């Protein structure tokens, strides 16, 4: 299987070209990665402020190579850049169907999200405690309670979702490729109706 694709990794970035041929993934900026040497991988997707960030990390013993795309939410998964990116990701996944793939954030990124959640979880009660300590009137104290509660709840949700001791879900690359293809097929079917 051979793929030669170019896509913009983000709206304001120049297109990047990748070639997958003979089990070797090569990027135009000079790196090359034999897929047989990949020992682990991760598929990560985030949504923020109307954008979708998707990446496939390929790890060997010494390095991590990243295929990444950021597009407006409306451009996922069928926009031109997203479709080209997905074609490359599917080809890489199909080249190593038995490769274990972590689904979700891992490593330092996961710890950073957990830290944000923990700070928010502790920040809500701390802010409310400071409001109590300053002797705010009942109306103002009630006004401070809602943001403190909201901050606490968001912190609990984010911290729990990214807890570092949680075993990360893993799937085979082949199963992930099947799931990504079904996502496209479902979107194409619903757009046709």
Do residue 68 and residue 151 come from a single domain? no
In the chain (193 residues long), the average pLDDT of successive 10-residue segments reads 85 91 89 92 88 92 90 84 92 93 78 86 86 79 84 88 81 90 55 37
Do residue 85 and residue 120 come from a single domain? no
For residue 119, tell me if it sits in a domain: yes
Do residue 56 and residue 29 come from a single domain? yes
For residue 180, tell me if it sits in a domain: yes
For residue 58, tell me if it sits in a domain: yes
Note the pLDDT tens digit of each residue in 79-110.
888 899 999 999 999 999 999 998 877 777 77
Do residue 28 and residue 47 come from a single domain? yes
DSSP states of the chain as a string?
--EEEEE-SSTTSPPEEEEEETTEEEETTS-EEEGGG--EEEEEEEEETTEEEEEEEEE-SS-EEEEEEEEEGGGTTTSHHHHHHHHHHHHHHHHSTT-EEEES--HHHHHHHHHHHHHHHHHHHHHHHHHHHTT--HHHHHHHHHHHHHHHHHHHHHHHHT-TTSPPPEEEHHHHHHHHHHHHHHHHHHHH-
The backbone region for 35, taken as left when phi is positive above 0, alpha when psi lies in -120 to 50, beta otherwise, is alpha
Which positions ≥6 away from 141 have C-beta within 8 Å?
A: 131, 132
Do residue 144 and residue 86 come from a single domain? no
For residue 193, tell me if it sits in a domain: no
Please give the tally of structural domains in the chain.
2
For residue 9, tell me if it sits in a domain: yes
Do residue 93 and residue 111 come from a single domain? no
Q: Cα–Cα–Cα angle for 122, 127, 132, nearest 5°?
A: 125
Do residue 38 and residue 83 come from a single domain? yes
Do residue 25 and residue 61 come from a single domain? yes
For residue 155, tell me if it sits in a domain: yes
Do residue 24 and residue 84 come from a single domain? yes
Supply the range of the domain harboring residue 149.
107-161
Distance of CA 77 to the CA centre of its chain: 14
For residue 143, tell me if it sits in a domain: yes
What is the pTM for the complete model shown?
0.72
């Amino acid at each position: 299987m051979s793929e030669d694709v170019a896509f913009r990794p983000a709206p304001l970035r120049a297109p990047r070209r990748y070639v997958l041929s003979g089990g070797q993934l090569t990027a135009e900026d000079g790196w090359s990665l034999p897929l047989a040497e990949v020992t682990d991988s991760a598929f990560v997707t985030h949504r923020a402020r109307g954008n979708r960030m998707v990446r496939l990390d390929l790890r060997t013993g010494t390095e991590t190579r990243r295929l990444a795309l950021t597009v407006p939410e409306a451009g996922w998964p069928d926009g031109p850049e997203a479709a080209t990116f997905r074609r490359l990701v599917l080809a890489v996944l199909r080249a190593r169907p038995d490769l274990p793939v972590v689904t979700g954030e891992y490593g330092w990124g996961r710890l950073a999200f957990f830290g944000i959640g923990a700070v928010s979880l502790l920040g809500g009660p701390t802010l409310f405690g400071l409001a109590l300590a300053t002797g705010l009137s009942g109306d103002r104290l009630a006004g401070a309670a809602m943001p403190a509660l909201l901050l606490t709840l968001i912190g609990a949700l984010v911290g729990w979702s990214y807890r570092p001791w949680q075993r990360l879900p893993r799937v085979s690359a082949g199963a992930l490729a099947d799931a990504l293809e079904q996502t496209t097929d479902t979107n194409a079917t619903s757009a046709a109706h």
